């Protein structure tokens, strides 16, 4: 290994990368449980697809646009097609750049998959693939460059430990734009559209929390104090959000709900994402309580609007990420993070930097995604037909069902001349 | 007194319920069934196995009504379930010999008339 590589840091970052990759599968499960049974596979596949499509975008150009030197706004083409991505450490880090590339790529993958929550149950699969391929070139790398790749927010002094800007506000406000461009489901507002498997939802949320220890714990790009601080905060903050959510549920409906609990875990993990390595464990617990409030309010309010942002990516990620980013401005503590104090500890400059991030991230994510999808809508039909939407996207888009019994299924001999006449419908 | 059986597309079941409530037919049972009514078969592939699905999911309504309600019930089923394509389903009307409301022991017309109607 070249000099400057720390084996302990490298070992942890390889592990953390694998943990983050599992989050995308957990997210697929979480989303699949929240939709109707007829759209289970399509919804799950939207997350699985990101593992393939976005990884390729990331290797070809996304990584370079995020982490090449470039300008304050966007990187350059220095690392395009993996050029010069080798065993040498990236920048100040102590791990080989190949590992750094994988770790950062896993972030882009899950962020793209998160956006799918806004368009499930009606978007065609092929345009969706095109969308996430382009989104992971034009939207995510730009925002990642701002905070991780030496862009203008990082230069200003904005603190964003694990991606409140590119991942959380990036996905949340992109989701809002995507929901508006693609439009609401036919049955939205007319029928009750209920989660079909709440066990999936809980298990998915649990897997996400598990993976989030790699997501936040790895965002110090090593095993330093900020990383271990983020690790404990990733335990404490979501726990507080979870219990706060119980109380909010009790006040509102006199019962503690399971879908609410799963949502709370996500909201807590998102809230601590930007702040993990910068605030004390005590303040992380406070953040857990505070982050629950605005996200809960948006989740209650959103279904009364005409915007079918189906799986509430905006509330769970956009709003909670916004809360976390601003929270750092007040409660960051140099004693814990070794970098800067927030307003409460006598330093007012940081709050301004955090507010700037909280302003530009939603603006860019929303407008870039809105423009991207609107342009795509000229060239492609983004939605399935009304009939296909009624029958379900599993059968109509993939030719499979999640819960098939096999009753009435007649085996078709492959390529048999006799059987070709049996295809009384066009293969889908 | 008749038993009206309606077999409809699952995705139209809510529309049927809405249409039935509009004409004040509120006593009914539904079940998920699988059936075949001449519509096109769908081809599905699981790894190397290609199958055509001969049976489609349907929802079956069982509705016992007094004679005055037979036509409104049939109209509601048609109105709610029709898409115009093969596979919209069928309605069967059977004579009903007896009906008993378990709670009160009421029989026949009284038993199939909703409480308060």
Domains (range + CATH), chain B? 2-112 (3.30.70.120)
What are the pLDDT digits (tens) for A188-247? 988 889 999 999 999 999 999 999 999 999 999 999 999 999 999 999 999 999 999 999
Average pLDDT value for residue range A148-173: 96
pLDDT at res. A307: 95
The set of residues, in sequence order, having a beta carbon less than 8 Å from that of A266 and lying 6+ positions away, is A30, A205, A208, A316, A317, A320
pLDDT higher at A297 or B114:
A297
Contact A395, B42 (CB under 8 A): yes
pLDDT higher at A384 or B114:
A384
Q: What are phi and psi of A351, to 5 degrees?
A: -60, -40
Beta pairing partners, A62: none
In terms of Cα–Cα distance, which of A243, A288, A236 is closest to A267? A288
Give the whole-angstrom CA distance, residue A218 versus residue A21. Answer: 13
Give the whole-angstrom CA distance, residue A399 versus residue A253. Answer: 40
DSSP per-residue letters across A333-365 = -HHHHSS---GGGT--HHHHHHHHHHHHHHHHH
What are the pLDDT digits (tens) for A119-151? 999 999 999 999 999 999 999 999 999 999 999
Contact A97, A152 (CB under 8 A): no
The confidence band for A414, taking pLDDT boundaries of 50, 70 and 90, is: low
The confidence band for B117, taking pLDDT boundaries of 50, 70 and 90, is: low
Give the whole-angstrom CA distance, residue B26 versus residue B28. Answer: 6
pLDDT at res. B54: 83
Residue of B nearest to A402 (CA): B46
pLDDT at res. B110: 87
The set of residues, in sequence order, having a beta carbon less than 8 Å from that of A181 and lying 6+ positions away, is A370, A373, A374, A377, A382
Q: Is B95 helix (H, G, I), strand (E, B) or coil?
A: strand
The confidence band for A417, taking pLDDT boundaries of 50, 70 and 90, is: very low
pLDDT at res. A415: 57
Q: What are phi and psi of B91, to 5 degrees?
A: -125, 130
Query: The tokens 């030197």 sit on which residue?
Result: A69
In terms of Cα–Cα distance, which of A410, A416, A350, A382 is closest to A183? A382
**Nearest CB to A422; choose among B9, B44, B52:** B52
Q: Is the pLDDT of residue A418 over 70?
A: no
CB contact under 8 A, A423 and B83: no
Contact B2, B70 (CB under 8 A): yes
Average pLDDT value for residue range A337-360: 95
Task: Collect all residues of chain B within an 8 Å Cβ-Cβ radius of residue A427.
Answer: 43
> Nearest CA to CA, how far is A193 from chain B (Å)?
11
Contact A136, A54 (CB under 8 A): yes
What are the pLDDT digits (tens) for B77-97? 999 999 998 889 999 999 999
In terms of Cα–Cα distance, which of A322, A279, A276, A67 is closest to A161? A276
CB contact under 8 A, A428 and B43: yes
Q: Crossing angle of helices A349-379/A320-331, nearest 10°? A: 160
What are the pLDDT digits (tens) for A297-312? 999 999 999 999 999 9
Average pLDDT value for residue range A89-98: 95
B32: left (phi over 0), alpha (psi -120 to 50) or beta: beta
Give the whole-angstrom CA distance, residue A260 versus residue A297. Answer: 12
pLDDT higher at A98 or A422:
A98
What are the pLDDT digits (tens) for B16-68? 999 999 988 888 999 999 988 777 778 888 888 888 888 888 999 999 999 99
Domains (range + CATH), chain A? 7-379 (1.10.3430.10)
HSE toward the beta carbon, residue A216, CA cutoff 13 A:
30
Query: The tokens 């070139």 sit on which residue?
Result: A137
What is the ipTM score, two decimals? 0.80
pLDDT higher at A421 or A30:
A30
Which site among A391, A398, A407, A415 would you substitute to test the B interface, given the most B Cβ atoms closer than 10 Å to its Cβ?
A: A391
pLDDT at res. A59: 98
A 166-195 residues with CB < 8 A to B:
187, 191
Q: Is the pLDDT of residue A422 over 90?
A: no
Average pLDDT score over chain A: 94
Give the whole-angstrom CA distance, residue A286 versus residue A284. Answer: 5
pLDDT at res. A301: 96
The confidence band for B108, taking pLDDT boundaries of 50, 70 and 90, is: confident
* pTM attached to this predicted model: 0.92
Contact A145, A403 (CB under 8 A): no
Average pLDDT value for residue range A400-427: 65
Task: Collect all residues of chain B within an 8 Å Cβ-Cβ radius of residue A387.
Answer: 83, 85
Contact A220, A226 (CB under 8 A): yes
């Amino acid at each position: 290994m070249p000099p400057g590589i720390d084996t302990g840091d490298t070992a942890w970052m390889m592990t953390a990368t694998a943990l983050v990759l599992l989050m995308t599968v957990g997210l697929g499960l979480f989303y699949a449980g929240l939709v109707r049974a007829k759209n289970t596979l399509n919804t799950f596949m939207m997350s699985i697809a990101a593992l393939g499509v976005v990884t390729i975008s990331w290797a070809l150009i996304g990584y370079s646009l995020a982490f090449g030197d470039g300008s304050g706004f966007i990187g350059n083409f220095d690392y395009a097609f993996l050029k010069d991505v080798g065993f040498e450490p990236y920048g100040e880090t102590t791990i080989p750049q190949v590992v750094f590339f994988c770790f950062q790529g896993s972030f882009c993958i899950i962020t793209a998959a998160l956006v799918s929550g806004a368009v499930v149950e009606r978007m065609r699969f092929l345009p969706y693939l095109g969308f996430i391929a382009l989104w992971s070139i034009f939207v995510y790398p730009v925002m990642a460059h701002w905070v991780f790749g030496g862009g203008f927010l990082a230069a200003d002094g904005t603190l964003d430990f694990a991606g409140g800007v590119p991942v959380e506000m990036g996905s949340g406000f992109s989701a809002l734009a995507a929901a508006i461009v693609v439009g609401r489901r036919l049955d939205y507002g007319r029928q009750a559209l209920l989660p079909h498997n709440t066990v999936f939802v809980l298990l998915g949320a649990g897997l996400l929390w598990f993976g989030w220890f790699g997501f936040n714990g790895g965002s110090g790009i090593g095993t330093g104090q900020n990383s271990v601080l983020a690790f404990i905060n990733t335990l404490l903050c979501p726990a507080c959000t979870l219990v706060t959510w119980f109380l909010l549920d009790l006040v509102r409906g006199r019962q503690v709900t399971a879908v609410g609990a799963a949502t709370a875990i996500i909201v807590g993990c998102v809230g601590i994402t930007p702040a993990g390595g910068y605030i004390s464990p005590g303040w992380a617990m406070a953040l857990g309580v505070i982050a629950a409030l605005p996200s809960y309010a948006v989740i209650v309010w959103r279904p009364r609007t005409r915007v079918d942002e189906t799986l509430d990516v905006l509330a769970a990620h956009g709003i909670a990420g916004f809360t976390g980013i601003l929270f750092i401005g007040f409660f960051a503590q140099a004693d814990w993070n070794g970098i800067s104090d927030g307003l409460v500890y006598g330093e007012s400059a940081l709050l301004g930097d955090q507010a700037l991030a909280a302003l530009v991230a939603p603006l860019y994510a929303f407008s870039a995604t809105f423009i991207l999808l609107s342009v795509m809508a000229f060239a492609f039909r983004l939605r399935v037909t009304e009939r296909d939407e009624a029958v379900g996207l599993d059968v109509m888009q993939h030719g499979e069902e999640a819960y098939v019994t096999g009753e009435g299924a007649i085996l078709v001999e492959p390529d048999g001349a006799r059987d070709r006449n049996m295809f009384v419908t066009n293969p889908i | 007194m008749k038993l009206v059986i309606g077999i409809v597309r699952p995705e139209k079941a809510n529309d049927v319920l809405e249409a039935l409530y509009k004409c004040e037919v509120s006593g009914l049972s539904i079940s998920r069934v699988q059936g075949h009514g001449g519509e096109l078969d769908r081809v599905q592939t699981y790894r190397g196995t290609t199958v055509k699905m001969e049976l489609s999911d349907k929802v079956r309504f069982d509705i016992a009504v007094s004679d005055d309600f037979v036509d409104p019930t049939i109209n509601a089923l048609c109105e709610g379930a029709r898409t115009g394509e093969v596979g919209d389903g069928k309605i069967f009307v059977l004579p009903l010999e007896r009906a008993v409301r378990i709670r009160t022991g009421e029989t026949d017309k009284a038993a199939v008339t909703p409480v308060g109607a």
